[in-house]
């Protein structure tokens, strides 16, 4: 059994082991992630996930008022950190686009997410930021699909981007999926705001593939 936890409103949900805790949807919990100690909101209470084999980290504790207040303060402070980082990127003349930033719960680490067309030597930037914020600095380069998920937006369909709204893993999408659904292969019509093929192309692909394998051939 696992609980699903989100750390950002438009982020993906992660699985954690609830252990003996009685955790409800809407509760906040403190957990350990690859980034460090974090506080997140439970978006789905304990449920079973058949066939899930990866190791699931345990919930450390149900967040108290101090944890939640600290989490919200971190989210407020990170706005200023974002602006300062943008200024320092410009000062160092680096060809990178800042996308997002976040503190760990205990503020032992400040993570900045960015996109860039090529490798970026940001060692001097890291030293600069460390002297500004007096904490460990980590810069992570992400892809354009992850950028779209973090920033959010509206797709061609007029609804919120699937990657932001639905979370989950970002799965590969191929032109073969568009062909199987007899869609136009015009890149402008089948590409999302990130410039890559739209995530929704894969949602109905398996149904089309199954139907075409059983249906009579044309004519």
pLDDT in tens, the chain (219 residues): 899 999 887 677 889 999 999 999 999 999 999 888 999 999 999 998 887 777 889 999 999 999 999 999 999 999 999 999 999 999 999 999 999 999 999 999 999 999 999 999 999 999 999 999 999 999 999 988 888 888 888 888 898 888 877 766 778 899 999 999 989 899 888 999 888 999 889 888 999 999 989 999 888
Tokens of 103: 């503190």
Pairing of strands 28-33, 59-62: antiparallel
What pLDDT does residue 175 have?
93
Phi–psi pair at 163, nearest 5 degrees: -65, -30
**CB under 8 A, 24+ apart: contacts of 119-125:** 120/94, 120/95, 120/96, 122/92, 122/94, 122/96, 124/92, 125/88, 125/89, 125/92, 125/94
**Residues recorded for the chain:** 219
Average pLDDT across the chain, whole number: 90
What pLDDT does residue 51 have?
76
Cβ-based neighbour number of residue 100 at 10 Å? 19
pTM of the entire predicted model: 0.80
Quick one: DSSP state of residue 201?
A: G
């Amino acid at each position: 059994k696992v609980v699903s936890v989100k750390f950002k409103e438009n982020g993906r949900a992660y699985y954690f082991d609830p252990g003996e805790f009685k955790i409800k949807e809407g509760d906040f919990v403190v957990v350990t992630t690859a980034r460090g100690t974090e506080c997140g909101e439970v978006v789905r209470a304990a449920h079973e996930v058949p066939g899930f084999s990866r190791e699931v980290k345990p919930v450390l504790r149900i967040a108290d008022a101090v944890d939640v207040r600290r989490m919200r303060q971190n989210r407020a402070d990170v706005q200023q950190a974002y602006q300062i980082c943008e200024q320092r990127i410009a000062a160092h003349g680096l060809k990178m686009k800042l996308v997002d930033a976040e503190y760990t719960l205990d503020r032992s680490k400040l993570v900045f997410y960015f996109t860039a067309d090529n490798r970026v030597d940001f060692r001097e930037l890291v030293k600069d930021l460390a002297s500004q914020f007096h904490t460990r600095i980590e810069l992570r380069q992400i892809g354009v699909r992850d950028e779209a998920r973090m920033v959010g937006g509206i797709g061609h369909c007029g609804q919120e981007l699937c990657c932001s709204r639905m979370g989950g893993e970002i799965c590969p999408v191929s032109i073969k999926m568009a062909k199987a659904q007899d869609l136009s292969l015009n890149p402008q019509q089948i590409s999302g705001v990130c410039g890559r093929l739209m995530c929704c192309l894969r949602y109905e692909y398996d149904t089309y593939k199954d139907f075409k394998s059983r249906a009579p051939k044309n004519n």
